[in-house]
Amino acid sequence: MKQAKVLSFHRPVMRLTLLFFCLFTVSGFAEEAKKVTADKERIVKTVRFLSEENHPRTANLENKEKTIEYITRAIAATGLEPTRDEFKVVFHDGIFTNIHALKKGKTGKRIVVGAHYDIIPVSPGADDNASAVAALIELAYLLKETPEMNCDIELVFYDIEEWGLWGSQHHVKKLKSQKVDVVCMLCMDMVGYFSDKENSQEYPMRNMELAYGTKGNFLAMVGRPKDRTMAMEAKKAFQEAVPLKVEVFFVPPLWEFLFTVSDHAPFWQQKYPALFFTDTADFRNKNYHRRTDTWDTLDYDRLALVPVGLYHVILAIDAAR
């Protein structure tokens, strides 16, 4: 009986000790996570290779294979295992290739992060979309040392985005057929061009500059009203982690067709939550789809903040699921 009383007395003490231990561990991990940084030199190297040294990177088979090999080696260097998913597309000749890397979690739920690597042949495609490819590779490095998370984190480099979003369509159909529980898709497309000049930012609708300003010094995050809670969690996590402003744009349901310009769109169509991160393309970057979209036009200081911000977005979304 005495032993039972002693154990009963110590039970609340033990619970408090365990609680403080858990809080300390989570807090310590959060503090460590805030210290992560991307390798700006590696980002520059990736953008230069894709847009200059291997241009046009997907316009012929030789260059495309070099692009795939570069991405595959870069992902393998992070400790994640890259895999190739080849597929055919109606009315397009040849074989197309998505590149995947999966960090397994505890629950079987999944967060997908994607960026396309193909180009319009006339353009070097530094911002569109070597910038996001470089950011996604850096994200793989940041995830390398992260302890096991709740969700699987799937990084995907999509092919043939420029000609119909076929890579992401192929991927999302596989996820649907396999009944994967996709918590969210995070899409990066053109994330490297910023400007602090007045009137450097335009908008698709009149008077938006009254709310968001005329300087192209922010990263836009586009979502749907139904995903508002997740979007605001993502904005908070991003802003607290890095000094790069994020502006959130919610797309009314009747206007969704106007924002189906990148690889988030097939996920919306399949009823998955998705957030689209972009520097707003030709509303800011006048090099969009032109020969002038070269590596030396990008802001690498701010581009290097994007994968760090996305890393914290992933941590926040994962922790809430």
231 pLDDT exceeds 70? yes
Please check whether residues 192 and 272 belong to one and the same domain. yes
β-pairing, 110-116 with 218-223?
A: unpaired
**Mean pLDDT along residues 63-89:** 98
Please check whether residues 311 and 278 belong to one and the same domain. yes
Are 116 and 167 in contact by the 8 Å Cβ rule? The answer is yes
Q: Assign 33 a pLDDT band (cuts: 50, 70, 90).
A: low
Model pLDDT, residue 34: 60
Tell me phi and psi for residue 100, to 5 degrees.
-120, 150
Q: Count how many domains the chain has.
A: 2
Residue 216's domain spans which residues? Answer: 39-319
Spatial distance between the Cα atoms of 226 and 203, rounded to a whole number of angstroms: 23
Please check whether residues 88 and 18 belong to one and the same domain. no
Please check whether residues 22 and 53 belong to one and the same domain. no
Please check whether residues 102 and 21 belong to one and the same domain. no
Give the three-state DSSP class for 153: strand
Q: Assign 252 a pLDDT band (cuts: 50, 70, 90).
A: confident
Model pLDDT, residue 9: 32
Please check whether residues 108 and 18 belong to one and the same domain. no
**Mean pLDDT along residues 8-36:** 43
Q: What is the DSSP string of 48-94?
A: HIIIIIT-STTTSHHHHHHHHHHHHHHHHHTT--EEEEEEEETTEEE
Spatial distance between the Cα atoms of 13 and 72, rounded to a whole number of angstroms: 51
Q: What is the pLDDT of residues 157-188, one digit of tens each?
A: 999 999 999 999 999 999 999 999 999 999 99
Please check whether residues 67 and 2 belong to one and the same domain. no
Please check whether residues 217 and 264 belong to one and the same domain. yes
pLDDT more than 70, % of the chain: 89
Environment class of 188 (CB within 10 Å of its CB; exposed 0-12, middle 13-18, buried 19+): buried
Model pLDDT, residue 253: 82
Give the three-state DSSP class for 68: helix
Give the position of tokens 């899409």. 187
**Mean pLDDT along residues 285-314:** 98
* pTM for the predicted model, two decimal places: 0.89
Q: Assign 321 a pLDDT band (cuts: 50, 70, 90).
A: confident
Tell me phi and psi for residue 39, to 5 degrees.
-95, 100
Please check whether residues 136 and 252 belong to one and the same domain. yes
* Sequence-ordered list of residues with C-beta below 8 angstroms from that of 208, at least 6 positions apart, any chain: none
**Mean pLDDT along residues 270-292:** 97
User: Domain of 183: which CATH number?
Assistant: 3.40.630.10
Please check whether residues 184 and 292 belong to one and the same domain. yes
Give the three-state DSSP class for 110: strand
Model pLDDT, residue 259: 76
Q: What is the pLDDT of residues 113-151, one digit of tens each?
A: 999 999 999 999 999 999 999 999 999 999 998 999 999
Please check whether residues 44 and 120 belong to one and the same domain. yes
Model pLDDT, residue 91: 87
Please check whether residues 179 and 290 belong to one and the same domain. yes
Amino acid identity of residue 316, one-letter, is A
**Mean pLDDT along residues 19-41:** 58
19 pLDDT exceeds 80? no
